[in-house]
């Protein structure tokens, strides 16, 4: 005979396992701009698919969690009673559970050790993906149409289309986004860009926006050393320049935290050190 109480418990168990898995994958997944540009996948699922599944099962877990509380209300109340069977909210068990919860919340909110090490480790994994997969020339460039992308980076559209056709990349329309073209051809926006990036306009009336193209994204989450390694910047010289200008930092300080000291953006730090 079917039992909603038993079904609720089983759904909670299965939802917990799925949330644990998708949460772990999102923890190690690249930053969105990198994942979408390279169409990162793990076990056949993209970051977007992991995110959507995680959101849906969070909702399922919430709904059936409420049902679980309803069906087990007597047991929960029993946990809040003392040895004399009197209801006491602040039992030792409740206080310990509350303290652990508050400590975790506040430690994470204020970025305190050891809680911040969990976040730092995730950031380090995401930085690793940037080194392996590369970064897009512009955030969410995969959402630009081929025509707009070529215009933005001064790439000859006809030459780009010719190069793609030579490499057996089928294009229905130049108004298709790089993402759409990539998916239809079982490749990535990154690979398409690598094919067409050298198809520059030869007209003297047009100039290449090299600064915009060569300025990387996602700099804020990097440390100075990581940015130096990624973008061929002399680390020791970079430290001297920043210290001379009054910036305060250590080996673990992120570029975003360095830049805000002077009301700047991470890209401003990058441009300063690349001069």
92-147: per-residue pLDDT in tens?
Answer: 888 999 999 999 999 999 989 899 999 989 988 988 898 888 888 887 888 889 99
- Whether residues 100 and 17 share a domain: the answer is yes
- Whether residues 40 and 96 share a domain: the answer is yes
- Whether residues 255 and 147 share a domain: the answer is no
- 3-class DSSP assignment, residue 50: helix
Which tokens hold the place of 2?
Answer: 């079917």
What range defines the domain where residue 53 resides?
4-133
Question: What is the signed CA dihedral for 81, 86, 89, 94, rounded to 10 degrees?
Answer: -20
How many CB atoms lie under 10 A from the CB of residue 64?
20
What's residue 208's pLDDT? Answer: 44
Q: In the structure, what pLDDT confidence band is assigned to residue 226 with cuts at 50, 70 and 90?
A: confident
Pairing of strands 41-42, 45-46: antiparallel
- Whether residues 58 and 150 share a domain: the answer is no
- Residues 270, 242 contacting (CB under 8 angstroms): no
- Whether residues 46 and 113 share a domain: the answer is yes
CA distance linking residue 249 with residue 2, whole number of Å: 62
pLDDT, tens digit (0-9, with 9 covering 90-100), for 54-75? 999 999 999 999 999 999 998 8
What's residue 67's pLDDT? Answer: 95
Last residue of a domain, one of 116, 133, 150: 133
What's residue 221's pLDDT? Answer: 81
Statement: residue 46 has pLDDT above 80: yes
Q: In the structure, what pLDDT confidence band is assigned to residue 205 with cuts at 50, 70 and 90?
A: very low
- Whether residues 187 and 244 share a domain: the answer is no
- Whether residues 24 and 83 share a domain: the answer is yes
Last residue of a domain, one of 106, 133, 160: 133
- Residues 153, 137 contacting (CB under 8 angstroms): yes
- Whether residues 62 and 45 share a domain: the answer is yes
Domain count, the chain: 3
Radius of gyration of the chain (CA): 26
Q: In the structure, what pLDDT confidence band is assigned to residue 13 with cuts at 50, 70 and 90?
A: very high
Strand partners for 45: 42
Half-sphere exposure (Cβ direction) of 73: Cα atoms closer than 13 Å: 4
Cα–Cα nearest to 170, from 183, 159, 157 = 183
- Whether residues 126 and 145 share a domain: the answer is no
Last residue of a domain, one of 105, 133, 161: 133
What's residue 204's pLDDT? Answer: 37
- What does the mean pLDDT of the chain come to? 88
What's residue 121's pLDDT? Answer: 92
Cα–Cα nearest to 192, from 141, 139, 152 = 141
* 82: enclosing H helix or E strand: none
- Whether residues 41 and 68 share a domain: the answer is yes
- Whether residues 41 and 126 share a domain: the answer is yes
- Whether residues 181 and 197 share a domain: the answer is yes
CA angle 90, 95, 96 (to 5 degrees): 155
């Amino acid at each position: 005979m079917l039992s909603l109480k038993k079904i609720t418990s089983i759904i909670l168990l299965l939802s917990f396992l799925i949330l644990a898995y998708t949460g772990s994958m999102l923890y190690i997944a690249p930053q969105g701009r990198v994942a979408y540009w390279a169409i990162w996948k793990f076990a056949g699922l993209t970051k977007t698919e992991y995110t959507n599944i995680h959101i849906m099962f969070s909702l399922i877990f919430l709904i059936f969690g409420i049902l679980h509380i309803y069906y087990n209300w007597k047991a929960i109340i029993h946990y809040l009673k003392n040895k004399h069977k009197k209801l006491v909210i602040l039992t030792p068990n409740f206080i310990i559970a509350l303290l652990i919860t508050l400590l975790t919340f506040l430690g994470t909110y204020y970025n305190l050790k050891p809680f911040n090490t969990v976040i730092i480790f995730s950031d380090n994994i995401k930085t690793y993906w940037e080194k392996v997969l590369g970064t897009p020339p512009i955030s969410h460039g995969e959402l630009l149409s081929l025509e707009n992308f070529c215009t933005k980076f001064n790439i000859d559209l006809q030459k780009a289309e010719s190069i793609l056709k030579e490499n057996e990349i089928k294009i229905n329309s130049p108004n298709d986004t790089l993402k759409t073209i990539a998916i239809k051809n079982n490749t990535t926006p990154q690979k398409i860009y690598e094919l067409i990036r050298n198809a520059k306009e030869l007209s003297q009336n047009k100039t290449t926006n090299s600064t915009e193209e060569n300025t990387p994204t996602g700099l804020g989450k990097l440390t100075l050393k990581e940015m130096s390694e990624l973008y061929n910047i002399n680390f020791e010289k970079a430290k001297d320049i920043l210290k001379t200008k009054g910036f305060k930092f250590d080996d673990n300080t992120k570029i975003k935290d360095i830049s805000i000291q002077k009301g700047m953006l991470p890209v401003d730090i990058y441009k300063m050190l690349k001069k």
